[in-house]
Amino acid sequence: MHEVMQRWFDRHAAELVQVSRTLWERPEASEQEHFACRTLSGLMAEHGFTVAALPPAGLDTAFEASWGSGAPHIGFLAEYDALPGLSQETSPRPEPIPGQAFGHGCGHNLLGTGAAGAAIALRAVMEAEGLPGTVYLYGCPSEEVMMGKIIMTQAHVFDHLDAAISWHPGDRNRASEESYQAMLSMEYHFTGKASHASMAPQEGLSALDAVELMDVGVNYLREHVPPGGQIHYVILNGGEKPNIVPEKASVWQFIRANTAADLRRIAARMDDIAAGAALMTGTSYTKKIVTGCNETKIVPALVDVMHQVMTQEVMPPVWSPEEEAFSRRLLESLELRVPEHPLHGGVSAPKGETIDILGSSDLSNVSYVVPTCMLFSACYPMGTPNHTWAVTACAGHSIGQKGMLYAARVMAAIGLRLTRDPVLRQAVRTSFQEALGETRYAPVNI
């Protein structure tokens, strides 16, 4: 690692750990991350970054911090929202914190702080060497409800970047080749006619019947979706009382697919099913699109850069016996297999191809408009399921903090390579264009 960058991390590691712990102690819901936004933007201002007066894309809990001028433009993406019901002490067994409704069960307290540290460390080297260019940290709220980066991408916040760099806590150290699924979240609201269910049922038009018929049709559709397609739903409103024919009823549908094109095909079929349910019941319906994202575009040239840095320049954490023992007890509490060494200590090799995985991320929309990369850093034991109390425990523990500092060093080193080397930036741009092929960004949530 560059000497200036290494010295910066040596001096400021404790500061980053403290910031991550502060966010861990004050978990906030998506769209309500006011404390996290103030904390991270304040950290950037303290380190010489200019924080834009207006939040990007009009999002109250988003921010843009920048340093430098001109090209190249290197952006780091931070997240910091928490999850409901995942309050937890830093304990290897379930111990919710009394009175705390949320917890960092996805490790976003680490994610946001690590991205901030990477941006500041890159600035330190650029300033020391007089390198041209601009470093950005974007505070991206509400990832857990698939909002922040989707809205920011539609508002062209990221268009000027030469690269967008991010990371996520995981159970292994690796450069991500994984394409998250395209996703569409929709509510269908049916309207019928209320009537007494016993005395005058013939006068009623049941919106609940429409919802249930739609759900039957959607369940039959499952057999005919493209490979990788998924459908999930919950009934939001099923009526007021059994003896009143429900005038209003609603269902919330999630669709996932490996590509946005497949997603749109499934969505069109779902609309037809909703129309058929309305026709069968004499009701009407409206559709509300809540949110949606594209699949991830993987840039092979950026995967290569990430892997090179992770194997040649920045050493993974060395785990202490106490951290290994904590991890074994945690896995035992989860009733999972306990390996001799539960914490990943190496770097997994890329497979050289895009890998379709389940789940979705709003980072995918950014990957359609600028070359985007994400790495995973071991912040909890191997095999630990995400979005659980166990991740919350590790996100406030030295295990997660070590993983965060490793990720921050890797991201900063990636940013420095891109800043210094115009040939590499062009190779990344070419790789990005090849990954896009004929596809172009089109939001799926409008």
Residue 121 has a pLDDT of: 98
How far apart CA 188 and CA 253 sit, in angstroms, is: 8
DSSP β-ladder status, 182-191 and 163-170:
unpaired
Enter the pTM of the model. Answer: 0.96
Residue 126 token pair = 């650029």
Residue 446 has a pLDDT of: 78
DSSP β-ladder status, 83-84 and 50-51:
unpaired
Tell me the pLDDT tens digit for each residue of 163-195.
999 999 999 999 999 999 999 999 999 999 999
Q: Which of 345, 304, 314, 276 is nearest to 430 (CA)?
A: 304
Beta strands across the sheet bearing 372-378: 50-51, 63-69, 133-139, 73-78, 163-170, 372-378, 174-175
Cβ-defined contacts of 423-431 (< 8 Å, 24+)? 424/301, 424/305, 425/72, 425/162, 425/163, 427/301, 428/162, 428/163, 428/299, 428/301, 428/302, 428/305, 428/371, 429/162, 429/371, 430/301, 431/299, 431/300, 431/301, 431/302, 431/371
- In eight-state DSSP terms, residue 235 is E
How far apart CA 213 and CA 235 sit, in angstroms, is: 12
How far apart CA 209 and CA 246 sit, in angstroms, is: 8
Q: Is 143 helix (H, G, I), strand (E, B) or coil?
A: helix
Q: In the chain, what are the domain boundaries?
A: 3-179+295-436, 182-293
Residue 32 has a pLDDT of: 98
Question: What mean pLDDT comes out for the span 1-7?
Answer: 93
Contact 113, 20 (CB under 8 A): yes
Tell me the pLDDT tens digit for each residue of 9-61.
999 999 999 999 999 999 999 999 999 999 999 999 999 999 999 999 999 99
Residue 339 has a pLDDT of: 95
Residue 306 has a pLDDT of: 98
How far apart CA 323 and CA 343 sit, in angstroms, is: 8
Contact 381, 393 (CB under 8 A): no
Count the Cβ atoms, other than its own, within 10 Å of residue 402.
22
Residue 368 has a pLDDT of: 98
Residues forming beta bridges with residue 174, ordered by sequence position: 348, 376
Contact 97, 87 (CB under 8 A): yes
Residue 365 has a pLDDT of: 98
Percentage of residues in the chain having pLDDT higher than 70:
100
Q: Which CATH class is domain 182-293?
A: alpha beta
Instruction: Indicate if the pLDDT at residue 364 is higher than 90.
Output: yes
Residue 1 has a pLDDT of: 79
Question: What mean pLDDT comes out for the span 105-134?
Answer: 98
Residue 347 has a pLDDT of: 98
Residue 150 has a pLDDT of: 98
Tell me the pLDDT tens digit for each residue of 323-345.
999 999 999 999 999 999 999 99
Count the Cβ atoms, other than its own, within 10 Å of residue 159.
11
85 pLDDT band (50/70/90 cuts)?
A: very high
Element housing 267 (H / E):
helix 260-281
Q: Which of 338, 219, 339 is nearest to 273 (CA)?
A: 219
Instruction: Indicate if the pLDDT at residue 349 is higher than 90.
Output: yes
User: Considering all CA atoms of the chain, what is the largest pairwise distance in Å, rounded to the nearest integer?
Assistant: 84
Q: Which of 134, 122, 143, 123 is nearest to 161 (CA)?
A: 134
Q: Peptide bond before 72: cis, by omega within 30 degrees of 0?
A: yes
At a CB cut-off of 8 Å and minimum separation 6, what does 224 contact? 269
Helices (H), 172-299: 207-221, 260-281
Residue 382 token pair = 């191997």
**What is the CATH topology of the domain spanning 3-179+295-436?**
Aminopeptidase (3.40.630)
Contact 97, 389 (CB under 8 A): no
Residue 225 token pair = 């979706």
Question: What mean pLDDT comes out for the span 307-331?
Answer: 98
